[in-house]
Structure 1
Amino acid sequence: MTAEAGRDGALPDARPDSLVLRLTPDFALPYVQLARLDRPAGWQLLLAPCWWSAALAGDAVHRGPDLRHLLLFLIGAIAMRGAGCTYNDILDRDLDAGVARTRGRPLPSGRVSPRAAALFLAAQALVGLVALVAFNRFSIGLGLASLIVVAIYPLTKRVTSWPQAALGLAFSWGALMGWSARFGALGAPALLLYAAAFCWTIGYDTIYALQDARDDAIVGIKSTARLFGRHARLGVGAFYLLTALLAQAALLAAGGGWIAELGWAAFAAHLVWQLSKVEGASEKTALMLFRANRDAGLLLFLGFAVEGWTRAALG
C-alpha cells in the first residue's frame, strides 16, 4: 500500500488539531482518512446503540453492563465503522469527486488505489470478526447478518431519497447485539431500542446531509435532507420524537428505574436543543449538531448504566 506523503490531503470536516492527526505519519494519513479515524463521531454513534443495549440488558437483571462486552463493542465499532467507510468510498469514489466536501478523500484524489483500499477494508473487517467471535453463537450469527444491510447502504443513495433509513438499519444493529450478548436471544426491549436507534440515525444523518444538499443535487445523490428541503426541522423533529418515545418504551419494557429515566430525560432534552438549531443551519452548524449526538448517546447510556450499577450495589 502506497500513498503520497504530505498533509495536503487534509479534509474539510476533520479536526485539524486532533490527536490522531498529530500522531499519524504522512504515509499512513490516507488510510486514517479512509477509516475516518480522524473523525471519531461516526464510530461513537455506531457504538452508542451497542452500549445502550448492553446497559439496558444489565438493568433487566439488576446489574450494570458487562464491562467485557463494552470493550468488545468499542473495538468492533471502530473497526467496522472504518471498514464500512472504506467500502463506501470504494463504491462512491466517482460520486465523491463531484462533491466539494468529499473530492479530497483518498480515493477520488488518487492518494490511494482501489486495490489498496480493498486490502485495507479486509484488514479492518478481520479485526471486527475477531471481536465478534468472542460473543455467544446467537450474537455471532446476528452480527454476521448485519453485513447484508451494510453492503446495501452505499447503493441506496442512487435509487431512493431515504439512504438515511438504510444507514439507520445498519448503525442501529448494536441495539440488538448488546441484549443478545447477555441473553443469547432477542427480546421486546432490544427490538424497541433498535427502532429508537433507527429513528435517531435518520434524524442525525439528515442533519449531516444538510452540508451536502446543494452538491448532492448536482451529482444526483439522494437524501432526506433534499427530500425534506425547507421542512428539514419538521422532518428531523418527527424522527427525534419517535426516538424518544421508543427509547422510553424500551426502558419500561426492561423494567428501568428513576435513574434510567433521568438519563432518558437528558437525552430527550438534547434532541430538543438540536432541533432549536436546525432551522437555516450553516454547514458548520450542521456538522456541529451531528457531532453533538455523541453526547446525546452518552447521556442515555449513562442513565441506563448507572441504574444497573446502583441496583447491583444495593443488592
Structure 2
Amino acid sequence: MVEAVKTADAVQGSWVYRHAPAHFRPYLKLARLDRPVGAWLLLWPCWWSLALSITGPFELLHAWYLVLFMVGAFVMRGAGCTYNDIIDRDFDGQVERTRSRPIPAGEVTVRRAAVFAAVQCLIGLIILLQFNWFAIAVGAASLLLVAGYPFMKRFTYWPQAWLGLTFNWGALMGAAAITHTIPLYAVALYVGGLFWTLGYDTIYAHQDKEDDALIGVKSTALALGTNTKPALLVFYGLFTICLIIAGSLANLSIIYYIGTALAATHLGAQVLRVDINEPEACLEVFRSNIAFGWIVFAAAIMGQLT
C-alpha cells in the first residue's frame, strides 16, 4: 500500500489527514469521510421524513432513530462510494478530480476495497435491523437502485435522476420507521427530493464536464450545458412545491411554510451564485446544501411543535 494522498475535493483541514492513522486513511477516503457532504445529502431526507412523522411528544425512541439514521447514512454512503469506486476505477483514473481516489491512485487494491465495502454493508444491515419489519423491507428495496447507479452514466445523460431516486429513499424510510406505512407526505417528499438532487448533482457534475466529454461519461451537466441555470430554477421550484405539498399533507403549522420560504430563498441564491465554468464555485455551492438541509429540518420540527 502506498502512502495516502489528499483527494482533490476533500474538506480543507479534514481530520482524516490530520489525525487518522496513515494505514486507515485510504479506507476513510474510500468512505468519503474526508468530504462528508454526500452523507448529509443522504441523511437529510431521512431526518425530514422523521420530523414530518413525529406527531406526538418527542420520545427517546425518536432520538434513537435520529442517531440510527445518521450512522446509517454515513456508513451506507461509504459503502456505496466504495462500490462506485470499484466499478468506476478505470474512468476515475482518466479524470483530473478523481484520479487521486484510493483505487486509481494505487493506495488500495480492488480486493481490499471489496472487503471494506462488505464490512460497511454488514454494519448497515445491523443498523437496518433495529427498525420495524416494514421499514426493513423498504430499506432493503433500495439496494436495487444502489447497485444500478454506477452504470447509469454509461447509458444516459440523466444519471443524476437515478441518483435522486437512490439518495432520497430515506424520505420513505423515515416515515416507515415511525408509522409502519408510507404516507402521502413521504411520497411527496421523495418526489421533491428527486428534483433537489437533480439540482445539486448537476452543479457537482459541472466540475468534471470536460473530462467526462473526452472519456464518454454522460451527465446532466453535459446535457443541459448553458441551459443549466434555467433548469436549476425548474428543479428547485418543483422541489419547493413538493415541500409545500408534504407539509400540507402532514398538517404542519404556518411556521413550516415560513421556513420553506427561507429554504427556497437559499436555493435561489445557489442558482445566482454558481458559476458552472468554475469547479471551485460549483463545489462550494454544492456543499451549501448541508446548511439548506438544516433549514428544512428546523422548519419541519417547528411546524410540528407550533
- TM-score by length of structure 1 reads 0.94
Equivalent position amino acid for 2:198 in 1: I
Asked if residue 36 in structure 1 is aligned to residue 32 in structure 2, the reply is: yes
Which residues of 2 match residues 1-315 of structure 1 at below 5 A? 3-5=1-3, 7=4, 9-58=5-54, 61-64=55-58, 66-308=62-304, 310-311=305-306
Equivalent position amino acid for 2:15 in 1: L
- Compared with structure 1, are the counterparts of its residues 120 and 96 closer, same or farther at alpha carbon in structure 2 (3 Å cutoff)? same
- Compared with structure 1, are the counterparts of its residues 64 and 304 closer, same or farther at alpha carbon in structure 2 (3 Å cutoff)? farther
Equivalent position amino acid for 2:107 in 1: R
- Which consecutive aligned stretches of 4+ in structure 1 deviate over 3 angstroms post-superposition? 62-65
Bigger mean CA offset, 44-53 vs 24-33:
24-33
CA distance in 2, matches of 1:242, 1:46: 19
CA distance in 1, matches of 2:267, 2:56: 28
Contact (CA 8 Å) 2:275, 2:282: kept in 1 or not?
no
Bigger mean CA offset, 10-19 vs 168-177:
10-19
CA distance in 2, matches of 1:106, 1:241: 37
- The alpha carbon displacement at 1:29 in A equals 1.0
Equivalent position amino acid for 1:178 in 2: G
Equivalent position amino acid for 2:2 in 1: E
Percent identical residues = 45
Give CA-to-partner distance per residue, 1:96-115, whole Å, 9 cap, x none. Answer: 01100001111111111000
Contact (CA 8 Å) 1:55, 1:64: kept in 2 or not?
no
SS at match of 1:273: helix
- The alpha carbon displacement at 1:255 in A equals 0.2
Q: State the aligned residue count.
A: 304
Bigger RCO (CA 8 Å, 6+ sep):
1
CA distance in 2, matches of 1:263, 1:78: 26
Contact (CA 8 Å) 2:275, 2:281: kept in 1 or not?
no
SS at match of 2:197: helix
CA distance in 2, matches of 1:64, 1:4: 49
SS at match of 2:8: coil
Give CA-to-partner distance per residue, 1:10-53, whole Å, 9 cap, x none. Answer: 11100231223312111111111100000010001100000000
- TM-score by length of structure 2 reads 0.97
Equivalent position amino acid for 1:278 in 2: V
Equivalent position amino acid for 1:4 in 2: V
- The alpha carbon displacement at 1:307 in A equals 2.8
Bigger mean CA offset, 85-94 vs 25-34:
25-34
Q: CA RMSD in A?
A: 1.2
Contact (CA 8 Å) 2:276, 2:282: kept in 1 or not?
no
Equivalent position amino acid for 2:299 in 1: G
For structure 1, which runs of at least 5 residues remain unmatched after alignment?
none
